Amino acid sequence: MDIKKLAEKYDDYIIEQRRYFHQRPELSFEEKETTQALKKQLEDMEIEVTTFDDYYGLVGMIRGGKKSGKTVMLRADIDALPIEEHADVPFASTNGKMHACGHDCHMAMLLGAVKILNEIKDELDGDVKILFQSAEESCYGAKYYVEKGILDDVDAVFGMHIWGTLDAPYFNLEAGGRMASCDNFKITVKGTSAHGSAPHLGHDAIVAAASMIMNLQTFVSRMNDPLNTLVLSIGTFKGGQRFNIIPNYVEMEGTIRTYSRELRKKMEANIKAIIENVANIFGCQVELEYDAFPNPVINEHKDLNRLAHDAAVKLYGEESLTTMPKLTGSEDFAYFMDKVPGFFGFLGCANEEIGACYSNHNDKFKVDETVLHRGSALYAQFAVDFLAEKSKNEGGNKQC
């Protein structure tokens, strides 16, 4: 089987699908039409499809001709962002939403991979499960599928992301930490109002909240090991009623990112201790709401790291690979990697000559579409190689 040639064969189809979905973006938990369109594509290929009554996205299954008993899952996310598009393309969105993170590309690449795998299914040493996942941008969309048990028969999972600051057509398939965890929090500070001319008669919630912010940042710079990446950001701050009133209420929201699972487990308690001590000093009350979302994405399975690397080299040579700094953005693909061994890679789409020079989530985000069939090829090659290796290691097909 020549997966590279098959991917080139479906290049027009892949680009056509990308443009179709790009023009019709839907936000997290709203991907009704997207799910229906994906379902039709899979059913037209006679792929077995499972949908969900209470959730968007879908699962497809390609049954291999050689029954090793192993299953690999390939994943693409399908939601868009609430961004008005200003990219100069003839197929731009006009509904005030935008596939500014490249999920339209992910859907198209995975559909291309399904075309390839379906064509060679009789040669597959096992089954390939396909997940088109809802609501990645929510930080927890993947959790639903894990709780539904779709990984119960899966031996490994593979995903990738198109990346706007990585040059086309390179892959980044490095081992180790690749994306950070994401925990979000809300702090509510309650003080006592008084006239601004007599602050000693009140308890200033804004001063207390400001001190909390400074102490939280000092925790990052002085209590955390500087070699252990930790980002703590306060993104909103709301408080006060009038210029001459000591404020009695502040609400602020923030996020925490790290690659350390161990540090992550301690952060809620660390934040709680800091803000409660500060509140006590200023005579205020404080409440913490803490939402733990995905773990960090870490490529920590040596066999899968090797398989991903070798799949790219088999297709396009060692020169197709490049390095890229790890990212403090997060990916809910981590929910799958917490359950089964997984690998997560990146495909560069930056090409200054065509104006594809903006980062993901930018309203002018563009991609070099010539790389998309490479993504399809890597999805397919990884699946083929994983199943073949597992079958070989376990003695291949056994007959009674």
Q: Answer yes or no: is 189 within a domain.
A: yes
Q: Answer yes or no: is 397 within a domain.
A: no
Please state, rounded to an integer, the average pLDDT across all residues of the chain.
Answer: 96
Of residues 108 and 399, more confidently modeled: 108
Peptide bond connecting 169 to the previous residue in cis, omega within 30 degrees of 0: yes
Average pLDDT over residues 361-371: 98
Q: Answer yes or no: is 398 within a domain.
A: no
In this structure, are 258 and 304 located in the same domain? no
The pLDDT, as a whole number, for residue 350 is 98
The answer to whether the pTM exceeds 0.75 is yes
**Segments of 93-169 assigned E as strands:** 127-133, 156-167
In this structure, are 284 and 312 located in the same domain? no
CA-based max dimension of the chain: 90
In this structure, are 199 and 95 located in the same domain? no
Domain final residue pick, 262, 293, 324: 293
Average pLDDT over residues 174-197: 97
CB 221 within 8 A of CB 320: no
Q: Answer yes or no: is 352 within a domain.
A: yes
> pLDDT, tens digit, for every residue of 171-184?
999 999 999 999 99
Question: Per-residue pLDDT for 397 more than 60?
Answer: no
Q: Is the dihedral of CA 259, 264, 270, 274 positive or negative?
A: positive
**Segments of 249-299 assigned E as strands:** 249-258, 285-292, 297-299
Q: Using alpha carbons, select from 278, 200, 277, 189 the residue that is nearest to residue 239.
A: 189
CB 62 within 8 A of CB 110: no
Q: Note down the domain range covering 273.
A: 181-293
In this structure, are 377 and 304 located in the same domain? yes
**Segments of 242-341 assigned E as strands:** 245-246, 249-258, 285-292, 297-299
> Is there a binding annotation on residue 86?
no
Q: Answer yes or no: is 68 within a domain.
A: yes
What is the spatial distance between Cα 182 and Cα 294, in angstroms, rounded to a whole number?
Answer: 6
Domain final residue pick, 252, 275, 293: 293
Q: β-strand 176-179 against 297-299: which pairing, if any? A: antiparallel
In this structure, are 273 and 332 located in the same domain? no
> Is there a binding annotation on residue 22?
no
Question: Per-residue pLDDT for 38 more than 70?
Answer: yes
In this structure, are 38 and 135 located in the same domain? yes
The pLDDT, as a whole number, for residue 396 is 46
For the chain, how many helices (H) and strands (E)?
A: 10, 15
What is the spatial distance between Cα 173 and Cα 313, in angstroms, rounded to a whole number?
Answer: 11
What token pair was written down for 152? Answer: 């119960």
> Is there a binding annotation on residue 139?
no
Q: Answer yes or no: is 400 within a domain.
A: no
Question: Per-residue pLDDT for 240 more than 50?
Answer: yes
The pLDDT, as a whole number, for residue 395 is 65
Count of CB atoms within 10 A of residue 340's CB? 18
In this structure, are 38 and 157 located in the same domain? yes
The pLDDT, as a whole number, for residue 67 is 80
In this structure, are 280 and 149 located in the same domain? no
In this structure, are 26 and 169 located in the same domain? yes
The pLDDT, as a whole number, for residue 393 is 84
Question: Per-residue pLDDT for 129 more than 80?
Answer: yes
The pLDDT, as a whole number, for residue 400 is 31
Number of domains in the chain: 2
Q: β-strand 183-190 against 249-258: which pairing, if any? A: antiparallel
In this structure, are 131 and 209 located in the same domain? no
In this structure, are 138 and 270 located in the same domain? no
Domain final residue pick, 249, 271, 293: 293
User: If pLDDT is split at 50, 70 and 90, which confidence band does 63 have?
Assistant: very high
The pLDDT, as a whole number, for residue 258 is 97
User: If pLDDT is split at 50, 70 and 90, which confidence band does 219 have?
Assistant: very high
Q: Answer yes or no: is 381 within a domain.
A: yes
> Is there a binding annotation on residue 361?
yes
What is the spatial distance between Cα 314 and Cα 378, in angstroms, rounded to a whole number?
Answer: 10
What is the spatial distance between Cα 277 and Cα 397, in angstroms, rounded to a whole number?
Answer: 64
Q: Using alpha carbons, select from 294, 338, 269 the residue that is nearest to residue 182.
A: 294
What token pair was written down for 44? Answer: 């037209």
What token pair was written down for 163? Answer: 């990346």
Q: Answer yes or no: is 394 within a domain.
A: no
> Is there a binding annotation on residue 103?
yes
In this structure, are 278 and 371 located in the same domain? no
Indicate the DSSP class of residue 243. T
The pLDDT, as a whole number, for residue 398 is 44
